[in-house]
Structure 1
Amino acid sequence: MLEKVKKVIACELDTRLVGELQKRVQGTCLANKLEIKVGDVLKTDLPFFDTCVANLPYQISSPFVFKLLLHRPFFRCAILMFQREFALRLVAKPGNKLYCRLSINTQLLARVDHLMKVGRNNFKPPPKVESSVVRIEPKNPPPPINFQEWDGLVRIAFVRKNKTLSAAFKSSAVQQLLDQNYRIHCSIHNIEIPEDFKIAEKIQMVLKNTGFSEKRARSMDIDDFIR
């Protein structure tokens, strides 16, 4: 990478690996092209960058993806290696058994492509899981959606992705949460709430009017959720 680009900024938690990396470039013409940030990448402020290339510890795959996708200014693309099943979830489409909240949230914010499989025998020692390399290209500009609100919606829908939305929104915990949120929303926007208001009736009316009462999250695409 150092031979092909203007600058490499590496983020590494293991100080032994940092020392090894510094030793490899020390005294070469490549040394001044390398900057190493020592620490946890999830807790590190990412600098401006054009391309991200990473072989991640697999347990931080999901938070790292969303740290990247919510990073500003936009980058051009990321080439990342993940556990195979995680990679397949990223690219899964409605109707696929792996389609989940991760799939739709990632695809809302980015174009995701599965590039190649990486067998366990490519590693020493071989891990227990297979891997895949994925390319992620952020959508620029991003969709005009409040991501926190969007994620709240799909979180409820995908808790039981095989249930109808009507059933998913009948949960008392969900209704209590939405009732609190709706009352705050009305207070902020000076909307009067009738004395006989019931959040359950409001939810079912919205689902019926949009035609989604009997739809299931597993088969709904991004446009469905935007509606």
Structure 2
Amino acid sequence: MPKVITAKRKEGRLGAKPYSTSSTSGVSNDSSSSGTGSGQGIQFNRDFGQHILKNPLVLNAIVDKANIRPSDVVLEVGPGTGNLTVRLLEKASRVIACEIDPRLIAELQKRVQGSPLASKLHIIQGDVLKADLPYFDVCVANLPYQISSPFVFKLLLHRPLFRSAVLMFQREFAQRLVAQPSDKLYCRLSINTQLLSKVEHLMKIGKNNFRPPPKVESSVVRIEPKNPPPAINYKEWDGLVRIAFVRKNKTLSAGFKTTSMMEMLDKNYRTHCSLTNTVIEPDLDIKKKVEAILEKYDFGKMRARTMDLDEFLKLLHVMNTEGIHFA
């Protein structure tokens, strides 16, 4: 019988509804012919957006795209009743399945009980956003929309680094991950993900691959974390891009002029000067100082929606060099 461990929970801001039971885009990887229940009698709630993946070709394609090695430890999030899990167990040294629904855990245990695969399966019961993730080489997950973003960054900030993740998302979310400067969907999610990883759109999954068909299309992406990670202060970086993308169609000069933003930058500047024993100008006007920096380095007329990764990195560097900090 596979071992079940209750997840150690981290309380924090990343709370979300359970990924296995409440979603507008989550998909259970069970191939039942019933629209509301599995072959084992599990009742899936359509109001919670549970859609059963019925196409074995899609399951096989996801496993193939994961490029699993015989020595790999695989983290699977939301295993359902185990159609994908069994395929992963056949390829990997060990599979750690994270599931919040005890009914599905029971079905998953039954699925492998008495087979050679049972000893390779470890189950963590709990909310993946609040769990301490163990070591793994590859992650395979099918995620509902409302936890997609926090889960991606939980993965990318996980240490030690994993090799790759093959993840199924709502189509529009996947498009945001891979969006490039000037694309309509280019946003803070795009630049943050691409700072920390190489992200690639692998395939589209149509509605008819699920029962009942969801209202939205799905896509599978592969994320490979950059190793080593970029040598920057991530809190500083995130503070900068949050400011820039609040008004991504405005010039940076216009975007940096709000009162609350200036108050925050002024406070950070004074704190930085205090910590570095730097004399603060008696006539300091933080708004004019920021405007002068933007103009000096030719950033004033740039817009976040058209700026690439290198331009954002340069902007962060010059701001920090001039004593302007975002965290």
Both structures adopt the same fold (TM-score exceeding 0.5): yes
What residue is the counterpart of 1:13 in the other structure?
100
Q: Distance in 2 between matches of 1:161 and 1:203?
A: 18
Q: Could you say which residue in structure 2 is the equivalent of 1:95? A: 182
Q: Percent identity, please.
A: 70
Match of 1:140 among 201, 214, 227: 227
* Separation in 2, partners of 1:104, 1:57: 21
Tell me if 1:131 matches 2:222: no
1:125 to partner: Cα distance = 1.1
2:249 is matched with 162
Of 135, 151, 157, the match for 2:238: 151
Could you list the structure 1 runs, at least 4 aligned residues long, displaced by more than 6 angstroms after superposition: none
Q: CA deviation at 1:46?
A: 0.7
Deviation at 1:25, TM superposition (A): 0.8
Paired positions, count: 227
Distance (Å, rounded) in 2 between the aligned partners of 1:20 and 1:182: 56
Match of 2:206 in 1: 119
1:74 and 2:161 correspond: yes
| Structure 2 CA distance for aligned equivalents of residues 180 and 26 of structure 1 | 60
CA distance in 1, matches of 2:104, 2:300: 54
AA matched with 1:210: Y
1:28 match:
115
Q: Which amino acid aligns with 1:216?
A: R
Aligned alpha-carbon RMSD (Å): 0.6
Distance 2:210 2:256 in 1: 45
Task: Give deviations 1:99-150, integer Å, cap 9, x for gaps.
Answer: 0000000000000000000011111111111000000000000111111100
Q: 5+ unaligned residues in a row in structure 1: which ranges? A: none
Is the contact made by 2:144 and 2:170 (CA closer than 8 Å) also made in structure 1?
no
Q: CA offset at residue 209 of structure 1?
A: 1.1
- Show the counterpart of 2:133: 46
In 2: Cα distance, 1:15 partner to 1:190 partner: 57
- 1:215 equivalent to 2:302? Answer yes
Q: Which amino acid aligns with 2:133?
A: L
Aligned partners of 1:28, 1:58: CA distance in 2, in Å? 34
Cα distance in 1 for partners of 2:183, 2:120 equals 44
Q: CA deviation at 1:58?
A: 2.0
Say whether residues 1:189 and 2:276 are aligned partners. Answer: yes
Q: Partner letter of residue 191 of structure 1?
A: T
Which sections of structure 2, spanning at least 5 residues, go unmatched?
A: 1-87, 315-327
Q: TM-score, structure 2 length as denominator?
A: 0.69
Q: Does 1:65 align with 2:152?
A: yes
> Secondary structure at the residue paired with 1:177?
helix
- Matched position secondary structure for 1:178: helix
What's the TM-score once normalised by structure 1's chain length? 0.99
Counterparts of 2:210 and 2:268, CA distance in 1 = 49
